[in-house]
């Protein structure tokens, strides 16, 4: 693909955060950009930044639906993460031989500096944020980008060779890469997710595995030795595998021994800090810390610099986030638990006495695997959203259940049933799009409802 975009005709599909960022970059490069989305202008507030003067390129908005002609008459296409590559109109482009790439692919072709790519079914945002904090704490020029909030393309203009980018990557983004080559790539874990988008679990795994597609021996693959699927990849990647484990010693990477985090590489072993320095709740967050430390050390962080950043790190909003205590009852927001496995990890962070709020838009998840942790830890389950009935059937007999028509009602019901020492936990195990704009909107609604409790 020609790296000079002046006068090129580019179709950007999807006008959310990543799509509008890609459009801005291309317009600034002198391209003729068509931005298409099925939503209308009033539902796309980000577009306002594109409408002002000052860009050498030309912008055409194609909103309220896609036009087949636009997919035939362009030099290349940039696809937003939320747009499936199975979109019918993209089939037209493939037949015409038109290149189709993701925003991160476009960004990586122009970005100066090194990329640490982080994916997995759960823990991506926490780990990406933590890698960024560890880099900055070590005096390195760290940045956080990708699916975490800031599109990578937005950082291209000011990038330098000294910069290190911790980039959260979804399977959707990885579907659209071609030459993307992170110097560190990581898959934190793999459990069924987005089964409403993929034909099967293997297809989902294949999309995640693309993070290692272009790596060689000089790059690193950071993998979870305690996860069956990721551990198997250590012998399959072309890059140098670096493992992390909460349960056993690894030949190269980070692991836990007698309550101390250890890093081992070709130079030998180094004690990092005691596990007690990790303030985040849940065994899964200890795994996230192990992974983040391995990545930061590979990027050049000094081992002695890590503990202070770990102690200071209190977690990320909407990830087992403490909200408030009311009459001895603790309220936690884990709205980011958008799949079944994430909800299980959330439940396992507490010993019991949980009043759980769950439900939303089903992603073809298997809710029956929730039976044991729910039976062992949950006093009462309040169901919300489209998946309420499916969850009710899957967990019938495991726990007492109620149903609420809104987040405010769900929180109020839990508040009435809770007793001192109990935990009210939002861990939906579902997507949010039936009732909310996204998981962040859902989490804010929960927190507002909690703060409104007397």
Q: In the chain, what are the domains?
A: 9-98 (3.40.50.720), 105-312 (3.40.1190.10), 321-451 (3.90.190.20)
Q: Say which residue, 363 or 306, is predicted with more confidence.
A: 306
Which residues make Cβ contacts (< 8 Å) with residue 69, sequence separation at least 6?
none
Laid out side by side, the sheet with 400-403 consists of 321-326, 329-333, 423-426, 354-358, 378-383, 400-403
Residue 197, pLDDT above cutoff 80: no
- pLDDT the model gives residue 62: 94
Tens digits of per-residue pLDDT, 12-35? 999 988 999 999 999 999 999 999
Copy the structure tokens of residue 42: 């009033």
- pLDDT the model gives residue 346: 96
Region of 7 on the Ramachandran plot (φ > 0 left; ψ -120 to 50 alpha; else beta): left
Residue 52, pLDDT above cutoff 70: no
Beta-carbon count within 10 A of 67 CB: 13
Beta strands in 49-128 (DSSP E): 58-63, 76-79, 100-102, 114-119
* Rounded Cα distance, 421 and 264, in Å: 41
**DSSP code, position 41:** G
| DSSP helix/strand/coil, 9 | strand
Copy the structure tokens of residue 235: 């012998």
- pLDDT the model gives residue 193: 65
Copy the structure tokens of residue 436: 């909310």
Q: Does the model's pTM come out above 0.95? A: no
Q: For the chain, give the percent of residues with pLDDT over 70.
A: 98
- pLDDT the model gives residue 43: 83
Residue 4, pLDDT above cutoff 80: yes
Residue 445, pLDDT above cutoff 60: yes
Q: What is the rounded average pLDDT of the residues 425-442?
A: 95
Cα 334 off chain centre by: 14
Residue 2, pLDDT above cutoff 60: no
Q: Residue 221's pLDDT band (boundaries 50, 70, 90)?
A: very high
The bridge status of strand 253-257 relative to strand 260-265 is antiparallel
Residue 41, pLDDT above cutoff 60: yes
Residue 215, pLDDT above cutoff 90: yes
* Rounded Cα distance, 452 and 181, in Å: 47
Beta-carbon count within 10 A of 373 CB: 18
Q: For the chain, give the percent of residues with pLDDT over 90.
A: 85
Q: What is the rounded average pLDDT of the residues 122-134?
A: 95
Cβ(77)–Cβ(13) below 8 Å: yes
Residue 444, pLDDT above cutoff 90: yes
Tens digits of per-residue pLDDT, 58-117? 999 999 999 999 999 999 999 998 888 889 999 999 999 999 999 999 999 999 999 999
Burial 232-271 (b: 16+ CB within 10 A, else e): ebbeebebbbbbbbbeeebeebbbbeeeebbbbeeeeeee
Cβ(115)–Cβ(165) below 8 Å: yes
- pLDDT the model gives residue 94: 95
Residue 198, pLDDT above cutoff 90: no
Residue 195, pLDDT above cutoff 60: no
| DSSP helix/strand/coil, 58 | strand
Catalytic residues: 124, 147, 194
Residue 124's H or E segment, with its range, is helix 124-137
């Amino acid at each position: 693909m020609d790296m000079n975009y002046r006068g090129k005709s580019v179709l950007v599909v999807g006008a959310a955060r990543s799509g509008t960022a890609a459009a801005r970059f291309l317009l600034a490069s002198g391209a003729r950009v068509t931005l298409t989305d099925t939503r209308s202008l009033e539902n796309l507030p980000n577009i306002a930044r594109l409408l002002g003067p000052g860009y050498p390129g030309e912008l055409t908005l194609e909103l309220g639906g896609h036009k087949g002609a636009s997919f035939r008459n362009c030099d290349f296409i940039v696809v937003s993460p939320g747009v499936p590559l199975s979109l019918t109109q993209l089939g037209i482009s493939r037949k015409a031989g038109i290149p189709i790439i993701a925003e991160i692919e476009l960004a990586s072709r122009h970005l100066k500096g090194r990329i640490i790519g982080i994916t997995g079914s759960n823990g991506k945002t926490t780990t990406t944020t933590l890698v960024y904090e560890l880099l900055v704490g070590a005096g390195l020029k760290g940045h956080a980008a990708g699916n975490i909030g800031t599109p990578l393309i937005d950082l291209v203009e000011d990038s330098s060779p000294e910069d290190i980018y911790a980039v959260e990557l979804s399977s959707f983004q990885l579907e659209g890469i071609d030459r993307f080559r992170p110097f560190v790539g990581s898959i934190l874990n793999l459990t069924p997710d987005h089964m409403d988008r993929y034909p099967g679990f293997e297809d989902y795994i294949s999309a995640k595995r693309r993070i290692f597609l272009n790596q060689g021996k000089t790059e690193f693959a950071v993998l979870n030795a305690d996860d069956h699927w990721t551990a198997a990849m250590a012998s399959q990647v072309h890059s140098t595998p670096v493992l992390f484990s909460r349960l056993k010693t690894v030949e190269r990477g980070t692991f836990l021994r007698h309550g101390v985090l250890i890093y081992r590489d070709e130079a030998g072993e180094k004690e990092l800090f005691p596990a007690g320095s990790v303030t985040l709740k849940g065994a899964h967050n200890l795994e996230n810390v192990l992974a983040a430390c391995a990545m930061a050390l590979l990027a050049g962080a000094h081992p002695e610099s890590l503990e202070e950043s770990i102690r200071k790190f209190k977690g990320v909003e909407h990830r087992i986030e403490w909200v408030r205590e009311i009459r001895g009852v603790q309220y936690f927001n884990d709205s980011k638990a958008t799949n079944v496995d994430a909800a299980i990890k959330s439940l396992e962070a507490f010993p019991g006495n949980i009043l759980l709020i769950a439900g939303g838009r089903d992603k073809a998840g298997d809710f029956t695997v929730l039976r044991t942790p729910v039976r062992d830890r949950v006093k009462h389950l309040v169901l919300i959203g489209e998946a309420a009935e499916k969850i009710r059937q899957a967990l019938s007999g495991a726990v007492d259940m109620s149903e609420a028509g809104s987040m405010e009602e769900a929180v109020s019901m839990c508040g009435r049933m809770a007793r001192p020492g109990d935990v009210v936990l939002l861990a939906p195990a579902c997507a949010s799009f039936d009732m909310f704009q996204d998981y962040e909107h859902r989490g804010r609604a929960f927190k507002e409802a909690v703060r409104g409790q007397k």
